[in-house]
A and B are shown apart, each in its own frame.
Chain A
Amino acid sequence: MNSTTISRLTVIAAAALLLAGCAAPAPDAGVALEADSVTISDAWVKSAQEGMSAAFGVLTNDGDTDVTIVSASTEASPMIELHETVENDSGEMVMQQKEGGFVVPAGGTLALEPGGNHIMLMGLAAPIMAGDEVTFVLTFSDGSTLEFTAPGKDFSGANENYEGDMDMDMGSNG
């Protein structure tokens, strides 16, 4: 997804430009897109032959307002969600869709890591092999987007268990 949808913040600027007779709204230097203040580092995605996988990395927001990632997409898996890992009533750690998306605080970071928040790939279109380069697009609450690539890595640690025999609350979108 390459085009950037017009966010709420740019509507006012766009309206002003239209009134001034400009043909199309352009990204306005005075309005900061959420994606512009965010970088991702140390990204990687778990290798898998089929079924489910997950992507991880460290998101850094060097802007002065919080930003929110509302969705992710990748050709590697048409079905993809933002997941958190929480303790349920029985004391087990379960993964579920993160309501409201991932907030990356102003001037801060958000780690996506095994056992914590992560991008959940729910149905791989093709195997992800170790060393493959997988492209992701994160969409923010203002419609701006951030693209990154993550290498596939073999990983068997941190109780990553995606077989669905335990701890997978798919939520209302499941």
Chain B
Amino acid sequence: MSADRNPKPGRPGSSRRQFLLGGAAAGLGAAVAVGADLALNRTDPPAVAPLNGAQTVAFHGPHQAGVAVPPQAHTTLIGLDLTDGVDRDALRRMMRIITDDAVRLTAGEGALADMEPELAVVPARLTITVGFGPGFVARAGGVAPGWLRPLPPFGIDRLEPQWSHGDLLLQLASDDPITLAHATRMLLKDSRSFTRVRWTQTGFRRAHGSEPDGVTMRNLFGQVDGTVNSAPGTADFDDLVWVTEGWLAGGTSLVIRRIRMDLDRWDRLDRSGREQSVGRRLDTGAPLTGSAERDEPDFTATTPIGFPVIPEFSHLRRARSDDRRERIVRRGWNYDEAPTGSAISDSGLLFLSYQADVDRQFVPLQRRLDELDLLNEWTTPIGSAVFAIVPGCAPGGYLGETLLG
């Protein structure tokens, strides 16, 4: 895999203004030069590229922004359980406060009652995304979509309750980890009287500016991870992701799988074996039958002695369905936590999958991988949760209003 282009250097100071000013002053006099100066000041692009820290992602809209935004460098996902006695009215109050916090923090402003507003002024593309688990919908007295329940069990699962389920999901993501920590704490302070934290999962991708935008990330196996993925803004993405009916219209479903990687075991696999397990080259991410990352794999290609070039047990082959509707949109983050015992690593992948219907789009895929996927030798799902990602809201509204209003 190679980058399409080198990162752009910072723009040099604009010389346009000096050039035109010099010519105008010489030809037409000082007054015109001043006018030209004023005109150029209004339209002159900044001499230095704006800092990424100042970048914001619009909060309001038909969809929550965190689903389609180009993934940020850091994420924190928090699964919360509602405390006893939290009724529909309390849920409404909580969601109003959470929404107000999210509106302000994503705009680069401190929240109301924010003790550290200075930590909010570098939003760095902060998004805050909310999902409801089945318990939340039941507490609200609503009707949950059929897929809003724990996934069916898979043979490869070694799920731990501490990493699974939850009534309420808060997902925060930003290119700046300080911003992320502050926003996380602010939201937890405001949900504390309604919930308790069930689990916290943090993940990371490339730091902003390490690679050009759009470069597919690598997971901690070293693999290019996420090549085949419908692009946000396309009709295909919209069809795959957004729910179109009921109170969840404009929302989607999110499956969160915590995938532990056995890096010690992976160490014992040579490069060729690694490429066979996935079906892609490690250097470019190209399928074994191709030369560029985005080449279409040719599953019919065979070696001289008749074996498929892309093994039938490879992850790439097993993940591919003939039914185009059985597709998901993936967003992954790596995790790397403090090891315990004598281990030197506790690493893996936060596998996030968005789809309009979990049963129709995600489960068949997961079942195929469960039945056969060589990569299973080195990965183990240890956490699983399904949430209804609620629709976006307009200014003055609040997340969850279509269920709670």
Q: What residues of chain A have their CB less than 8 Å away from a CB belonging to chain B?
A: 42, 44, 46-47, 56, 114, 129-132, 151-155, 157-158
Partner pick for B190 among A46, A56, A153, CB 8 A cutoff: A153
A12–B18 Cα gap in the complex (Å)?
A: 60
- Shortest Cβ distance from B115 into A: residue: A157
Are B93 and A155 in contact, with the CB atoms below 8 A?
Answer: no
Count B interface residues, CB 8 Å.
16
Q: How many Å lie between the Cα of A46 and that of B95 in the bound state?
A: 17
- Please, which residues of chain B bring their CB within 8 A of the CB of A151? 96-97, 100, 112
CA gap between A154 and B93 in the complex, in Å: 12
Query: Residue B193 at the A interface, CB < 8 A?
Result: yes
Provide the residues of chain B in CB contact with A132, threshold 8 Å. Answer: 93
Residues of A within 8 A of B97 (CB): 130-131, 151, 153
- Indicate the member of A56, A153, A155 with the most B CB atoms within 10 Å: A153
A151 to B190, CA, bound (A): 12
Contact A153 B193 (CB under 8 A): no
Residue of B nearest to A133 (CB): B96
Identify 4 new A-B residue pairs, CB closer than 8 A, beyond the known A44-B112, A132-B93.
A131-B95, A152-B93, A153-B190, A154-B189
Distance of A114 Cα from B113 Cα, bound (Å)? 9
* Contact between B115 and A130, CB atoms less than 8 A apart: no
Chain A residues within 8 Å of B96, by CB = 131, 151
* C-alpha spacing A130/B191, complex, angstroms: 9
Supply 18 A–B pairs (Cβ within 8 Å), ascending by A.
A42-B112, A44-B113, A47-B193, A114-B113, A129-B90, A129-B93, A130-B97, A130-B193, A131-B93, A131-B95, A132-B93, A151-B96, A151-B112, A153-B97, A154-B192, A154-B193, A155-B113, A157-B113
CB of B112 within 8 A of CB of A130, answer: no
Q: For the complex, give the distance between the alpha carbons of A152 and B115 in Å.
A: 16
B94 on the interface (CB 8 Å rule)?
yes
Chain A residues contacting B92 (CB-CB under 8 Å) are 131
CB-nearest residue of chain A relative to B94?
A131
A-B CB proximity, top 4 nearest: A131-B93, A44-B112, A153-B113, A155-B113
Q: Quote the shortest CB–CB distance from B116 to chain A (angstroms).
A: 10
User: How far, in Å, is B112 (CB) from chain A's closest CB?
Assistant: 4
Q: Measured between alpha carbons, how far is A151 from B100 in the docked complex, in Å?
A: 10
| B contact residues vs A (CB 8 Å cutoff) | 90, 92-97, 100, 112-113, 115, 189-190, 192-194
- A161: shortest Cβ distance to chain B, in Å? 16
A150 to chain B, nearest CB (A): 9
A154 and B190 within 8 A (CB): yes
A130: B residues at CB distance < 8 A: 93-94, 97, 190, 193-194
Residues from chain A with Cβ under 8 Å of B113 in the complex: 44, 46, 56, 114, 153-155, 157
Chain A residues, Cβ within 8 Å of B95: 131
Residues of A within 8 A of B115 (CB): 157-158
List the A side residues contacting B190 at CB < 8 Å. Answer: 130, 153-154
Complex alpha-carbon distance, A130 and B194, angstroms: 9
Compute how far the CA of A153 lies from the CA of B114 in the bound complex, rounded to whole angstroms: 10
Beta-carbon nearest neighbor of A47 in chain B: B193
| Distance from B92 Cβ to chain A, minimum over Cβ atoms (Å) | 7
Complex Cα–Cα for A130 and B89 (A): 11
Closest chain-A Cβ to B353's Cβ sits at a distance in Å of: 32
A47, B97: Cα distance in complex, Å = 12
CB-defined contacts of B94 to chain A, threshold 8 Å: 130-131
| B57 CB to nearest chain A CB (Å) | 22
Residues from chain B with Cβ under 8 Å of A153 in the complex: 97, 112-113, 190
CB neighbours of A154 from chain B (8 A):
113, 189-190, 192-193
Complex CA distance for A57 and B251, rounded to whole angstroms: 34
Chain B residues near A131: list those with CB within 8 A. 90, 92-97
Q: Hey, which chain B residues are within 8 Å of A56, CB to CB?
A: 113
Chain B residue numbers with a CB within 8 Å of A129 are: 90, 93
Bound together, the chains give a CA A130 to CA B112 distance in angstroms of 12
